[in-house]
């Protein structure tokens, strides 16, 4: 009886050891859908709040990073506050979507400095890139946003110009 128990325990140990060696690590930090890390003025927060956003924000005295698979690695207050994240060239009128909410097609107007190279991508609520509207091009004007293949929901347009980015939520309704 003891020999059978010993064999069963040895088999269990072998199974657990094999499972443990199959583990892997994710090379980037993950903040879940709607997650946030923000730090400043002696206050730091980390948690899940509101709708999913992708991007960085700054405003005296706070700085933060939002979204799923966002580019700050690791997600720590020092990583957030260590950036020079001036978005002074961006304001609320940098990205305009008309009509909004989007039903089947919309025009996206971007206002960027002349000669700047830009990338504009659309992400869903889980942080998956759904389309690239501008890909390292010099554009200042209107771009068509086809929404025929998009489900109803909240999406995020992320505009990157000269290494700086701004995001805007876009609502798609059917």
Return the pLDDT at 86: 43
Contact 130, 155 (CB under 8 A): yes
Closest to 66 measured CA to CA, from 31, 41, 96: 31
| Cis peptide upstream of residue 101 (ω within 30 degrees of 0) | yes
In a domain, 121, yes or no: yes
Domain boundary among 39, 65, 84: 84
Give the strand order in the sheet containing 105-110.
Answer: 95-98, 105-110, 141-146
Query: 141 and 70 share a domain?
Result: no
Domain boundary among 62, 84, 106: 84
In a domain, 50, yes or no: yes
Query: 71 and 16 share a domain?
Result: yes
Q: Distance (Å, rounded) from C-alpha 145 to C-alpha 52?
A: 20
CATH code assigned at 121: 2.60.40.10
- Residue 68 CA, chain-centre distance (Å), reads 4
Residues in the chain: 174
Query: 14 and 61 share a domain?
Result: yes
Name the stretches of the chain with pLDDT < 50: 28-34, 51-53, 68-88
Q: Mapping DSSP to helix (H, G, I), strand (E, B) and coil, where does residue 173 land?
A: coil
Return the pLDDT at 28: 47
pTM for the whole structure? 0.48
Query: 80 and 118 share a domain?
Result: no
Number of helical H runs and strand E runs in the chain? 2, 11
Return the pLDDT at 38: 58
Q: Residue written as tokens 């890390």?
A: 37
Query: 80 and 109 share a domain?
Result: no
Domain housing 30: 1-84
**Which string of b and e fits 24-55 if b means at least 16 CB within 10 Å?**
eeeeebebeebbbbbbbeeeeeeeeeeebbbb
Query: 155 and 116 share a domain?
Result: yes
Structural domain total, the chain = 2
Contact 70, 31 (CB under 8 A): yes
Return the pLDDT at 96: 83
Domain boundary among 43, 61, 84: 84
Query: 99 and 69 share a domain?
Result: no
Query: 70 and 112 share a domain?
Result: no
In a domain, 90, yes or no: no
In a domain, 89, yes or no: no
């Amino acid at each position: 009886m003891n020999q059978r128990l010993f064999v069963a325990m040895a088999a269990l140990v072998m199974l657990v050891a094999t499972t443990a060696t199959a583990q892997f690590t994710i090379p980037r930090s993950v903040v879940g859908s709607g997650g946030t890390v923000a730090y400043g003025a002696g206050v730091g927060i980390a948690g899940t709040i509101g709708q999913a956003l992708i991007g960085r924000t700054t405003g005296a005295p706070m700085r933060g990073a939002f979204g799923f698979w966002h580019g700050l690695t690791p997600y720590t207050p020092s990583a957030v506050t260590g950036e020079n994240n001036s978005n002074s060239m961006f304001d609320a009128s940098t990205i305009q979507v008309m009509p909004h909410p989007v039903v089947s097609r919309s025009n996206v107007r971007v206002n960027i400095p002349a000669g700047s190279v830009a990338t504009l991508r659309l992400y869903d609520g889980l942080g998956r890139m759904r389309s690239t509207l501008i890909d390292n091009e010099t554009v200042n004007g209107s771009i068509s946003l086809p929404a025929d293949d998009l489900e109803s929901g909240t999406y995020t347009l992320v505009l990157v110009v000269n290494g700086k980015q701004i995001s805007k939520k876009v609502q798609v309704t059917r």
